[in-house]
Structure 1
């Protein structure tokens, strides 16, 4: 584990000499991730992208890309674009990235089951804003808005999320 890695510990997400309180999937940590299980997959995950709502915040890092109103993320195993960003309307199940709530105002993308997705192995694992302390995700790692905004400009494309 290097100094630029994000490391999920029982105390929170460790990075840059800090431990940031976080939440994970309602299914805990797993070695056998499946679509819909609500679990956070164990392993070393590269960070491969950052998305943000330009109407709600300034660009948080030079490699961040804006989320647009019609952006979504496919989580439907029947979709040829499973576990990829899609444009809505979309004929298969998907999550809206442009949301009324602030959960996806800033999204850090990991390489979980990407770019060549295995059907049913679980769609995107994001690092995003939490609903509140102790409120589980569907498998993602979630932080407070303040901690997520602190983290975003300090990570790099080569940073890894390590879930042990």
Structure 2
């Protein structure tokens, strides 16, 4: 158990000596290893750069694969991922950085993946509340590949760590990527 109260801030920083590996801490205490973007952490995030944005982001809601397990225990709003779920990453489209249904006429990421990365996904408010074309899309907290291989800009952790953390995450939680 992380603690009796829901964390208000989750901090992510680069692991010393590793641009695409990080340490996630809750309330300055419990920590988890995480994978970061292959472009490291950047204060100048752009679509396709592979970087994790250096910023503070709200946790908006989450998704999970209902065929892979029950709804995770969390106060966060969670939606089951559908077979036709996508996320638009076409900067000039009106649905940019929004969920869409596949097939989609523009570029979109598939949410129903053949690997396990999106079995549990938390949507972080990067370029969602106030979208700007080309600033980057789909910055999620999701499950990590074995060995914490780099992401395309997301924050990824082991399934067991995600299941432990998500119990204490709510719509009031913020994720601070500090470098």
Same fold per superposition (TM over 0.5): yes
Residue number in structure 2 paired with 1:90 = 104
**Matches of 2:150 and 2:101, distance apart in 1:** 27
Runs of 4 or more consecutive aligned structure 1 residues displaced over 3 Å after TM superposition: none
Which residue of 22, 32, 37 maps to 2:49? 37
- Paired residues in the alignment total 163
RMSD: 1.5
- Which SS does the other structure have where 2:68 is aligned? coil
Residue number in structure 2 paired with 1:15 = 26
Unpaired runs of 5+ residues, structure 1, are none
**Matches of 2:169 and 2:148, distance apart in 1:** 24
Tell me the TM-score normalised to structure 1 length.
0.94
Asked if structure 2 preserves the Cα contact closer than 8 Å seen for 1:130 and 1:142, the reply is: yes
Residue number in structure 1 paired with 2:62 = 50
* 2:156 is the alignment partner of 1:152: no
Residue number in structure 1 paired with 2:9 = 5
**Matches of 1:40 and 1:13, distance apart in 2:** 13
Tell me the TM-score normalised to structure 2 length.
0.86
- Which SS does the other structure have where 2:160 is aligned? helix
Q: Residues 45-84 of structure 1 correspond to what in structure 2 (within 5 A)?
A: 45-60=57-72, 61-62=74-75, 63-84=77-98
**Matches of 1:99 and 1:3, distance apart in 2:** 29
- Which SS does the other structure have where 2:57 is aligned? strand
Structure 1 residue 3: Cα displacement: 4.5
Structure 1 residue 149: Cα displacement: 1.4
Which residue of 140, 144, 147 maps to 2:154? 140
- Which SS does the other structure have where 2:164 is aligned? helix
**Matches of 2:140 and 2:96, distance apart in 1:** 15
- Which SS does the other structure have where 1:148 is aligned? helix
Structure 1 residue 155: Cα displacement: 0.6
